[in-house]
Amino acid sequence: MKETIISVKSLVKIYTMGDVEVHALRGVNVDIRQGDFVAIMGKSGSGKSTFMNILGCLDVPTRGQYMLDGVDVSSLTKDQLANLRNRKIGFVFQSFNLLSRTTAIENVELPLLYNKKISSKEMLERSLNALEAVGLSDRGHHFPNQLSGGEQQRVAIARSLVNDPVVILADEPTGNLDTRTSLEVMAIFQKLNRKGITVVIVTHEPDIAAFTSRNITFRDGRIIRAIDVESPRIASEELLTMPVTVEDEV
C-alpha cells in the first residue's frame, strides 16, 4: 500500500463577505497517495480552486482536518505554513506566473532563494537539472517573451520541481494552451509522475483528465464522484501520431 501524502477530512471553507457567506467547500473527504496522478473536475464555482489553495497551504480551511505528508497543517502558524509550502509543494498556474525580466534559469531558481544553505553553484545546477527534466536545456537563457506558451508552462513546471516537492499542484495548467501544447504539458506531467512524483491538476476538460489515473469531480463544494481511470491515455504516444493541424500554426 502506498503512503498517503494528502489526507483531508470534513474540510469546510466559508468565505464571509459582509453579511454574505459563501459555502465554497461543504465537507470534503479525500486521501491522495504517493504516486497518484489526480484530475480535479467540476463546473465553474464548484470549489476546485478553493480546494487546491488549501492543499497548497495558500489558504486555510474554516473547519476540518488537513494532513500533508504526516504534518497536521491546521495547527501551524503563518510562518510554519510558508515554510511547509516552500519545502513540500510545487505550484503551476494557468497563466504561468513567470517573472518577465528574468531568464528561464533564474525563474526556476526562485524557490531556492528562500533556502540560505544552498550555494549559487548548486542553485544553478538544480535549475539546469529541472529544465532538462522538462526538455528545455537549450532555452535557459531565454526570457519568457522569447518562449512559446507551452515552453513558458514547462519553465513553470521546472520551477515547481526544483525544491523536490512531495506534490505538484496545478490549477488549469493547460487552460491557456492549444491542443498540441496541452499534450506536451501532459506528457511532461506523466513523465514526472512515472518517476514517482504525485501530481494533482484541475481541469475542465475530460480529454485532459483522461491522461491522469484518478478523476475526482466536485459539485457545490462536495465530491460527487471519484473514479480510477482504467487505462489512462499516453500523451507522448499521441504526440507522435498527432497530425499537424491549422490550430497549431496560428
Ligand X SMILES: Nc1ncnc2c1ncn2[C@@H]1O[C@H](COP(=O)(O)OP(=O)(O)OP(=O)(O)O)[C@@H](O)[C@H]1O
- Contact between residue 70 and residue 4 where contact means Cβ atoms under 8 Å apart: no
Contact positions toward Mg ion, by CB under 5 A?
Answer: 49
Look-up: residue for cell 457567506?
21
For the CB of residue 50, give the shortest distance to ligand X in the complex, in Å. Answer: 3
Stretch that binds ligand X, among 44-52, 133-141, 187-195, 237-245 (CB under 6 A): 44-52
Angstrom distance (rounded) from CA 244 to CA 231: 25
Number of residues binding to ligand X, judged by CB under 6 A = 12
Stretch that binds ligand X, among 39-47, 116-124, 160-168, 179-187 (CB under 6 A): 39-47
Considering only 18, 44, 121, 249, the residue that binds ligand X (CB under 6 A) is 44
End-to-end, the C-alpha distance of the chain in Å comes to: 47
Q: Which is closer to ligand X, CB of 42 or CB of 140?
A: 42
Query: Which run of H or of E encompasses 237?
Result: helix 235-241
**Amino acid letter, residue 210:** A
Regarding 20 and contact with ligand X (CB under 6 A), the answer is no
Radius of gyration of the chain (CA): 18
For the CB of residue 190, give the shortest distance to Mg ion in the complex, in Å. Answer: 23
Considering only 47, 90, 150, 173, the residue that binds ligand X (CB under 6 A) is 47
Determine the angle formed by the axes of helices 149-161 and 179-194, rounding to 10 degrees: 20
For the CB of residue 102, give the shortest distance to ligand X in the complex, in Å. Answer: 27
For the CB of residue 219, give the shortest distance to ligand X in the complex, in Å. Answer: 10
Angstrom distance (rounded) from CA 98 to CA 84: 22
Answer with the entry of ligand X, Mg ion, none that 44 interacts with (C-beta below 5 to 8 A by kind). ligand X
For the CB of residue 8, give the shortest distance to Mg ion in the complex, in Å. Answer: 17
Considering only 37, 48, 106, 181, the residue that binds ligand X (CB under 6 A) is 48
Question: String of b and e for 181-200 (b: at least 16 CB within 10 Å)?
Answer: bbbbbbbbbbebbeeebbbb
Answer with the entry of ligand X, Mg ion, none that 183 interacts with (C-beta below 5 to 8 A by kind). none
- Contact between residue 233 and residue 183 where contact means Cβ atoms under 8 Å apart: no
